[in-house]
Structure 1
């Protein structure tokens, strides 16, 4: 097995590092995909419209832009293993901030808690993505990231189910008609009661993160050597130049493609519950699991097909084209008929959903291989600029902050279904990057 990208004391193969990194991806998925259930929950607790509710996504994902470069600088000083440990500590602090937020019911404190959680996750992402790319053969990097995606999106399936069971039980008391029938004091008391349900889960989450922090700290995880195999000639002799990463169009354009990808991924995963609630879907709190289920299917296909049967670039081409097709399905299909989900999932006993919601969930299938394919294509040939390139790609996650806000505005001024047209050009951009942008090496 190829391990030459690790320093000589760490020629232990890739299994142990992949187990630890898989654990980190599961934690990231657990925290990230909690937002899909948290958004409609906070919409009730804090009396929000769609645009205001999507500030949850903004506060969470904007941290990736604000904290990416500081995270890269910190990793350069303390190393990747200590960076992962520090990231888990920051995330634990963010989880603890949810306790005063839940007790006060103040939306601003919830947003601070989310930003703090995501700041720790930014440091984690900046460390683990280049680590998993460089730990083995470059041509199989998308396969390894797909395996990591199974951990990440597997958590995304579990989280809405757990959140629904622990937090969303008895929600008929908090429906809009039920709240409207109460006076102002009664509504306030009921919302405070609902908010208190978050205290115990986030306390447990903070404790779990601290346990994982200790596990990583005392593990035998080794530092990767990011330069040994693919250091470019200009970097090998002159060192890393300020802003030198911008000389590489494949990573700059890759960051733009990731900006669009994360935006549409967040829309597909985090707004499906809001959309289902608008359409009267009874089990709207678990709809994120539908999207995550299709993402897991996509990752399984990536593990099975890449690189033996399909290249990373081909996977990205199919993802962009499939995204365009499914967006058309979301925007143009029926909000009342449910024939598509009955045919495809009825045999498994999965509750039917309107066709337009089902196509939104199917975007998970198109989204699954975008992240695994863009990372190795974008980091190819960066050598000593790999850490800077990783930070640049992480900054692209800001798309998850901005694009869903645009959807929320369009959903309020037009309709939730028409708002999904905002995703179409971003899938077109992903397709263009796969066809042309990822091949560029000079501007």
Structure 2
């Protein structure tokens, strides 16, 4: 039996326009806040004087909120409803944005981590509520296409953010580095750190104001509520753990988000280690490739490409990218020369290009896993969504593993081996895991 929505919000094309528009705005915010981390990591590495492993606690603090808060947020959604829950999530993000002010004023890394955790908490309830909206707002077979549209918006924000961050925060500081700070006296170093960290204050004030506007937009909009009918086939099941496709889907998303964050948030560190200029903006390269992947999803699913085949192709392409990172040249820019060398966009070494191309390889994993995992859950949908959201904790844990490998080997590039088993598990889910309805 397929899942149905009690108020049948997807029955008329007209009824889905407003929800898709509002959810699209929210997905832009997801991308804006999430992919800001890619630029924030090398920035905080300098002003807080961190090594690579310590700097990657930025991703840990942000993404671990999804693990800690996902199930509590699902219970809140049951009490508040999806619409009010999204407004609450935005309000929590306002608080997180404002916490960056004292963090920047003190240049205290712990304060930054607390602010990032609060931002992640707000995003947790937003993600838990909004993804089922997109899945169930229209036909099941085109759900991946709709999520691809949201992903296109999300990653479009990811393209803009590093460029904006570089312009607002790093402008005029091309020679500012850890080595530059180390050569200064303690007093001079503190003055420069204070001046640099203070540049974060206004951008996060602007973010808080924008989020407050969105709170009002969601709260007072005519966004319909999702109410799921009880599924008779699921009545004998007492918990979400009895749905293998969801549990395995959560693990697949754990792997996916981990490699997505590694591709987007470590490319700056990798470029920095290889002496690539404007390393803080390298996240934009990964995001551009992800946008291309989502365009493929929007145009090809379900007409030319099924959700299952999209997932299969993503896992294989991702594994190939990892091999490309490890074995390609750090001196040659041949691939970049061919792909965009004829434009004014700066080229990058082949090995860094393969990191960016991971964005294209795994772009369709998230849109494909969600509809496959939520299929047939009925009134277990909120719990299933929360379990899938917990998979986002891969963005907290796997980058730390990456950082530890990179630190232990003294070679940032070798850290990308961590992503290979992740792509192999996604391959398993594409071939078998999403079909499982019983553990035995």
Q: Does the 8 A contact of 1:147 with 1:299 survive in 2?
A: yes
In 2: Cα distance, 1:6 partner to 1:307 partner? 25
Aligned to 1:162: 164
| Uncovered stretches (5+) of structure 1, i.e. residues with no partner | none
Aligned to 2:268: 273
Q: Does the 8 A contact of 2:69 with 2:121 survive in 1?
A: yes
SS in 2 for 1:174: coil
In 1: Cα distance, 2:287 partner to 2:21 partner? 21
Q: Does the 8 A contact of 2:97 with 2:115 survive in 1?
A: yes
Aligned to 2:335: 340
Aligned to 1:417: 413
In 2: Cα distance, 1:48 partner to 1:85 partner? 36
SS in 2 for 1:136: coil
In 2: Cα distance, 1:173 partner to 1:366 partner? 34
Q: Does the 8 A contact of 1:105 with 1:192 survive in 2?
A: yes
Aligned to 2:295: 300
SS in 2 for 1:23: helix
Pairwise CA distance, 1:181: 2.2
TM-score (norm 1): 0.96
In 2: Cα distance, 1:8 partner to 1:48 partner? 52
Matches for 1:45-124 after TM superposition, within 5 Å: 45-124=47-126
Q: Does the 8 A contact of 1:327 with 1:421 survive in 2?
A: yes
Aligned to 1:7: 7
Does 1:387 find its partner at 2:382?
Answer: yes
Deviations 1:270-326 (A, max 9, x none): 000111111111111111000000000000000111001110000000000000000
CA 1:170–1:371: 2 relative to 1, 3 Å: same
Aligned to 1:403: 398
In 2: Cα distance, 1:284 partner to 1:234 partner? 50
In 2: Cα distance, 1:324 partner to 1:186 partner? 46
Q: Does the 8 A contact of 1:156 with 1:289 survive in 2?
A: yes
Pairwise CA distance, 1:9: 8.4
SS in 1 for 2:330: coil
Q: Does the 8 A contact of 1:172 with 1:178 survive in 2?
A: no
Aligned to 1:377: 372
Does 1:197 find its partner at 2:190?
Answer: no
In 1: Cα distance, 2:37 partner to 2:93 partner? 15
Aligned to 1:234: 234
| Uncovered stretches (5+) of structure 2, i.e. residues with no partner | none
Match of 2:437 among 432, 437, 441: 441
In 2: Cα distance, 1:13 partner to 1:281 partner? 48
In 2: Cα distance, 1:234 partner to 1:25 partner? 31
Aligned to 1:283: 278
Between 1:339-348 and 1:368-377, the stretch displaced more is 339-348
Deviations 1:167-196 (A, max 9, x none): 011223422332232112211211111100
Aligned to 2:132: 130
TM-score (norm 2): 0.96
Pairwise CA distance, 1:13: 2.3
Match of 1:220 among 222, 229, 232: 222
CA 1:53–1:322: 2 relative to 1, 3 Å: same
Deviations 1:379-421 (A, max 9, x none): 1111111111100000011110000000001111111011111
Q: Does the 8 A contact of 1:174 with 1:190 survive in 2?
A: no
In 2: Cα distance, 1:232 partner to 1:364 partner? 40
Q: Does the 8 A contact of 1:272 with 1:288 survive in 2?
A: yes
SS in 1 for 2:399: helix
Number of matched pairs: 434
